[in-house]
Amino acid sequence: MIGIRIAGGFLAIATLAGATACSAPATTPTATTASQPPAETLNILLQQELPNVQGKTFTSAIVDFPPGARAAPHRHGEAFVYAYVLEGTVRSTLDDKPTSTYHQGENWVEQPGTHHVLTENTSQTNRAKLLVTFVSNTGDNLKVNDPHP
* E-strand stretches of the chain: 2-7, 10-15, 41-49, 56-65, 70-71, 74-75, 80-87, 89-94, 100-103, 107-110, 115-121, 128-137, 144-145
Over 68-90, what HEC string results? CCEECCEECCCCEEEEEEEECEE
Per-residue pLDDT of the chain (149 residues; tens, 9 = 90+): 333 333 334 333 333 333 333 444 444 444 444 567 799 999 999 999 999 999 999 999 999 999 999 999 999 999 999 999 999 999 999 999 999 999 999 999 999 999 999 999 999 999 999 999 999 999 999 999 998 76
**pLDDT the model gives residue 35:** 66
Model-wide pTM > 0.85: no
Q: Which domains are present in the chain?
A: 2-24+37-145 (2.60.120.10)
The alpha carbon torsion through 137, 140, 119, 63 (nearest 10 deg) reads 90
